[in-house]
Amino acid sequence: EAAVTQSPRNKVTVTGGNVTLSCRQTNSHNYMYWYRQDTGHGLRLIHYSYGAGNLQIGDVPDGYKATRTTQEDFFLLLELASPSQTSLYFCASSEGRGATAETLYFGSGTRLTVL
Amino acid sequence: AQKVTQTQTSISVVEKTTVTMDCVYETRDSSYFLFWYKQTASGEIVFLIRQDSYKKENATVGHYSLNFQKPKSSIGLIITATQIEDSAVYFCAMREDTEGADRLTFGKGTQLIIQP
């Protein structure tokens, strides 16, 4: 079973604050993703990566940066947090394309509140 | 751009009955992949089942099956003999089969409530 660990589980910050959400996967998956989940919107893709040093833009990237430092670690950065970024954030990983390889394995989520 | 629509916000059924959750999608590709994921009350999200567009046979895994109607761009999830633990939010998702299309687009989800 793939393991994806997110930290912190909960985070509260103020408007304009600097926040980093962390994600680590321990199954040598190539692909990693950051999603946000909001009521009425489902899961929306922020950024994703094919591997260390690679970054791809998702569907709702404004206000977010991301960095993939290693194959295991993927970070989401909010440099000037705004209340609109209050959300539940999920990290996910997958092996790649094709059949079972593209099954997404999700972390437990990080609940971020921006006051 | 691909789009996935789940119009049912919430469904409530009695335990041990069969339920169908709807999902329609939009894509320009002739080849694509469809998925269903489940989010439990604890927030955990897990993969359930998938359908490849080129396959005519509906996928089945355990008590989950799909009703794939390609001409209608529809992929319904059928759960038979529902159990209390099937109560969750179910997400439909799609990936197009084109170079560079390496991410899923999710619907907004359908909350399923199983009553005893």
* Structure token pair of residue B47: 């993969």
Shortest distance, CA A48 to any CA of chain B (angstroms): 8
Mean per-residue pLDDT over chain A, rounded? 92
Shortest distance, CA B106 to any CA of chain A (angstroms): 6
Look at residue A24 in the predicted model and tell me its pLDDT. 97
Q: Which residues of chain B have pLDDT under 50?
A: none
From A111, which residue of chain B is nearest by alpha-carbon distance? B43
- Cβ B91–A97 below 8 Å, yes or no? no
Only one residue has tokens 């954030």, namely: A89
Look at residue A1 in the predicted model and tell me its pLDDT. 60
**What is the average pLDDT across A61-83?**
97
- Cβ A90–B45 below 8 Å, yes or no? yes
Whole-number Å distance between alpha carbons of B12 and B75: 20
From A96, which residue of chain B is nearest by alpha-carbon distance? B102
Coil, helix or strand for A49? strand
* DSSP 8-state class, residue A69: -
pLDDT bracket for residue A66 (50, 70, 90): very high
Whole-number Å distance between alpha carbons of B65 and B59: 6
**Size of the A and B interface in Cβ pairs below 8 Å:** 45
Q: Cβ contacts (< 8 Å) between B25 and chain A: which residues?
A: none
Whole-number Å distance between alpha carbons of A32 and B53: 24
Coil, helix or strand for A18? coil
Identify the bridge partners of residue B112 per DSSP, sorted by sequence position.
B11, B88
**What is the average pLDDT across A35-53?**
93
Whole-number Å distance between alpha carbons of A32 and A39: 23
Shortest distance, CA B47 to any CA of chain A (angstroms): 7
Look at residue A2 in the predicted model and tell me its pLDDT. 59
- Cβ B103–A56 below 8 Å, yes or no? yes
pLDDT (tens digit per residue) in A85-98 = 999 999 999 887 66
